[in-house]
Chain A
Amino acid sequence: MTAAAVSSRASARRNSALLGLLAWLGGVLFFLPFAWMVLTSLHSEPAAATNPPSVGAGLTLQGYREFFGAGSGVSPWPPLINSLTASVASTLLVLLLSVPAAYALSIRPVRKWTDVMFFFLSTKMLPAVAGLLPIYLIAQNAGMLDDIWLLVILYTSMNLPIAVWMMRSFLAEVPKEILEAASIDGAGLPTVLLRIVAPVAMPGIAATALISFIFSWNELLFARVLTGVVAGTAPVFLTGFVTSQGLFLAKVCAAAVCVSVPVLVAGFAAQDKLVQGLSLGAVK
């Protein structure tokens, strides 16, 4: 081996180490605000509001106690339960509607199924705010303002197009040959669905459910306009949590962490299928 080859290999190794270091730097930089949020949530209010920051200050759960109503007596549970109801119920409804729809768009496609797909997608592209006022007026007349079931319906419509697209891409992975073989062997529809489609599609259905849950949990605009004291969701509660008096940084960070936990859990659970889902099935 020549000296030049040795030195070029050494420089390649040095480059590689440098790039690895850069990747770490990027990761740490993006993680830093989150880490700061968690750290601040564990500080006492005075320690959270110092300049320069007191990184090494003693840790306390006071912020979390405040979030759960220790000082103010305001419980965060009603909004958290509202969010959970809206997210879980709308996700179930989304699955109930999107699985059969995706079946009719992939395994046994209707005519012009692509037009249908693009109709679903187009509803996602036009801003939700454009339909807000009539929805508000209808809800007002129907006595559904400040009612969590109104949000369930709206969140379903918000996530259904995404779910149809995702689900179609997952169902399209079911091998056609096996479906044909099964129908030749005289397997009925329930058998085909349970034995062949379900096992292949299950991870996809789970990912669709998790992503739909995340988007519903995060939603602020509809919840802000259409709910009040009774049906307010966690993000609405969160934005109303900041007080103008006194120090509040630690408890706001604690609240932000608590409200984000379900999303973090759902997101990391769906990690493997997250890209395929978010790209509406266009990226595998």
Chain B
Amino acid sequence: MSTTSITGRPSRVSRSAEPGARRAAGRPRGAWSRRAPLLPALVFMIVVTQLPFVGTLVISFMRWNALDPGNRGFGGLSNYKAAFDDPALRSSIETTVLLTAAVVLVSLLLGLVLALLLDRRFRGRGIVRTMLITPFLVVPAASALLWKHAIYNASYGLLNGTLTWLWSLFGSAPAPQPDWLSNTPLIAVEISLIWQWTPFMMLILLAGLQSRPMDVVEAARVDGASTWQVFRYLTFPHLRRYLELAALLGSIYVVQNFDAVFTITSGGLGTANLPYTVYQTFYQGHDYGQASAEGVLVVICTILLATFALRTVSSLFREESS
């Protein structure tokens, strides 16, 4: 859902379209025949995504709790004040930043290593690639259940089961059986998300690696460049825009994550991120006014990220069309 404020920014992207555009501007009827195929999609998006946000904005200034229907009216900034004073919201902002940064950075790094490994010829490469894509193709809710019950569970999960097995090999003292979900809840959520998002990063970076101009790499090798030098001075600069793109797209998806937090910890133990907190205020607290104010705050936070993201994407876009 969006405000239109960020759309005006990146313009002048392609030169190639301009002759056509000028021609279209010259003949108004031609311009409308050009616009006609676009209009249904545009109108649909405005009605379904922009209008509800206007609604959120209006409700955010209202006193409105579904459990107290008599007391409804204009509330000024009280919802925003309540949202800011709410320590739960502040901690959920922190959690969102931590969760997104950790998941995106770690899966980007792992994705890079895996992409570099897969960019070479070896036996069974197709199989390894397929195995690596699989985590991304598990339904997120199913993945969350898998990690919560089959892997992290303290009494019969795979992690503690493996510990028991390893310890029994050496016949020593009883194995440690940590309760992963209570001890490290946020890391538990992060690992399950890293498992799902690393393949995504790997795919984009692998495509980047494979679009390298190989003749330049060969020439550098012939000139005696070491593997590290080739990576540092040729591969990495080429890969940079792919790294940025992967990080940005990953952030867009991970910042909105609801499934893993909802399923694995139900937002407990400091794992509630913004989407979960808004969901909770609205769905369990029934405080429509405050939920809307939180929603607006989420949007403001995201606009900051999105403006930056859009600028990066538009620079890629410019490169492509130039």
The answer to whether A and B come from one shared complex is yes
> Are B118 and A109 in contact, CB atoms less than 8 angstroms apart?
no
Closest B residue to A276 using CB positions: B207
* Chain B: interface size category: 35 or more
Q: How far is the CA of A100 from the CA of B120 in the complex (A)?
A: 40
> Are A263 and B139 in contact, CB atoms less than 8 angstroms apart?
yes
> Are B200 and A100 in contact, CB atoms less than 8 angstroms apart?
no
> Are A284 and B142 in contact, CB atoms less than 8 angstroms apart?
no
Closest B residue to A93 using CB positions: B44
Closest B residue to A32 using CB positions: B158
> A110 → chain B, closest Cβ, in Å?
5
How does the 8 Å CB contact mask read for B109-140 relative to A, with 1 for contact and 0 for none? 00001100110101111011111111111111
Q: Main SS of chain B's interface residues?
A: helix
> Are B42 and A278 in contact, CB atoms less than 8 angstroms apart?
no
> Are A24 and B56 in contact, CB atoms less than 8 angstroms apart?
no
The residues in B between 151 and 168 inclusive whose CB is less than 8 angstroms from any CB of A are 151, 155-156, 158, 160-162, 164-165, 168
Q: Which residues of A contact B140 (CB under 8 A)?
A: 218, 220, 235
Q: Which residues of A contact B158 (CB under 8 A)?
A: 33, 36, 53
The residues in A between 1 and 60 inclusive whose CB is less than 8 angstroms from any CB of B are 16, 19-20, 22-24, 26-28, 30-31, 33-34, 36-37, 40, 48-53
- Interface residues of chain A, those whose CB is within 8 Å of chain B, are 16, 19-20, 22-24, 26-28, 30-31, 33-34, 36-37, 40, 48-53, 97-98, 100-101, 103-105, 108-138, 153-154, 156-157, 160-161, 164, 214, 217-218, 220-221, 224-225, 234-235, 238-239, 241-242, 248-249, 252-253, 255-257, 259-260, 263-264, 267-268, 271, 274-276, 278-280, 282-284
8 contacts between A and B (CB under 8 A): A20-B120, A23-B117, A30-B198, A115-B8, A157-B45, A239-B141, A253-B146, A260-B139
- Interface residues of chain B, those whose CB is within 8 Å of chain A, are 1-4, 6-14, 17, 20-21, 24-25, 31, 34-38, 40-42, 44-45, 48-56, 59, 113-114, 117-118, 120, 122-125, 127-143, 145-147, 149-151, 155-156, 158, 160-162, 164-165, 168, 177, 195, 198-200, 203-204, 206-208, 211, 242, 245-246, 249, 252, 255-256, 258-259, 262-263, 274-275, 278-279, 282-283, 288, 291-292, 295-296, 298-299, 302-303, 305-306, 309-310, 313-314, 316-317, 320
